[in-house]
Structure 1
Amino acid sequence: MNPDVQKKILQFESFMNDVLRADLAKLAEKLDSKNAEMAEFLELKSIIKTLKDTNVDKSGFKTKVDMGNNFYIQANIEDASNILLDVGLGHFVEFSLDEALTVIDVRLKLFQRQIDNLRKQIARTNAHIKLVLIGIKDLQDMT
């Protein structure tokens, strides 16, 4: 085999393994993170709807709160008509339940767009990997 062709094949393999596969791993990690965030907001939306449907938002309710390491304490919520939402950068804003649902819907749409974009980037990176593999195969077949 021609030494120049072998050198090119090694360069392509190195690029694929060092750059493209690393990028793919980072994108997959970001996708998992966004999916987890979206799941949290979907769960929060479900909880708020349950609070509204059962009318405990005004009358209050008792619950158990996880203090960490599976240690729970009993909590008495007297008025659940307002909720604090993390709006980013560690800032929390108090919303009524209806306002919180609106904010959550906006955030869910944003997460969906981000997830769609990440999936497109993953597909593009996978396509680049396949192109490099095809190029390597063509170079090997030339000799």
Structure 2
Amino acid sequence: MNPEIQEKIGQFEAFINNVLRADLGKLEEKLNTKNTDLAEFIQLKGVIKTLKDTKADKSGFKTKVDIGCSFFVQAEVEDASKILLHVGLNHYVQFTLDEALVVIDVRIKLLERQIENLRKQVSMTNAHIKLILLGIGELQEIPSGS
């Protein structure tokens, strides 16, 4: 095989391994983080709806709280009509349950859009990898006499 072609193939393979696969790993890590955040917000929304449906937001409820290493203590919540939500940069805002549901719905929609964009970026990166691999395959099939 022509040395110039071998050099180009090496450059393409290095680009795939050093750049594209690294980008793909970062994108997949971000995607996993966003999916985890989305699952937590959906779970929180379910908890708030349960509190409202059972009227526990007004009458309170008893629960067990994990204080670490699977040690639980019994806790009593007398007023569950308000909740603190993390709004970013280590800041929390107190909301009523209805206000919290509105904020959570907005955050869920935002996360869904971010996840969709990340999935598109992952698909594009995978497509670039496949395209370069096809190009490498074509370069390797070129006869050395051409």
Question: Same fold judged by TM-score > 0.5?
Answer: yes
Deviation digits for residues 24-83 of structure 1 (CA, Å, limit 9, x no counterpart): 111111100000000000000000000000001011011011112211111110000000
Output the CA distance in 2 between the equivalents of 1:68 and 1:42.
24
Q: Residue 136 of structure 2 corresponds to which residue in structure 1?
A: 136
Tell me, what secondary structure is at the counterpart of 1:95?
A: strand
* C-alpha distance in 1 between matches for 2:20 and 2:67: 42
Mark the runs of 5 or more structure 2 residues left unpaired by the alignment: none
Q: Corresponding residue for 2:97?
A: 97
Instruction: Please give the per-residue CA displacement for 1:6-28, whole angstroms capped at 9, x wherever unaligned.
Output: 00000000000111011111111
The answer for the alignment partner of 1:51 in structure 2 is: 51
Q: What is the root-mean-square deviation of aligned Cα atoms in Å? A: 0.6
Q: Which amino acid aligns with 2:104?
A: I
Counterpart CA distance in 2 for 1:60 and 1:97 is 13
SS at match of 1:79: coil
Structure 1 residues 63-142: aligned runs within 5 Å: 63-142=63-142
* Aligned mates of 2:44, 2:69 — CA distance in 1: 22
Paired amino acid for 1:90: N
Q: In the aligned structure 1, how far is the partner of 2:19 from the partner of 2:51?
A: 48
In the alignment of these two chains, the number of paired residues is 143
Structure 1 outlier segments of 4+, above 6 Å = none
TM-score by length of 1: 0.99
- Distance in 2 of aligned mates of 1:83 and 1:16: 47
Q: Which SS does the other structure have where 2:79 is aligned?
A: coil
C-alpha distance in 2 between matches for 1:86 and 1:70: 25
Instruction: Name the amino acid aligned to 1:56.
Output: A
Name the SS of the counterpart of 1:74 in structure 2: strand
Q: Which secondary structure does the structure 2 equivalent of 1:80 belong to?
A: coil
AA aligned opposite 1:8 = K
Aligned partner letter, 2:31 = L
Task: Determine what percentage of the aligned residue pairs are the same residue.
Answer: 66
Q: Counterpart of 2:23?
A: 23
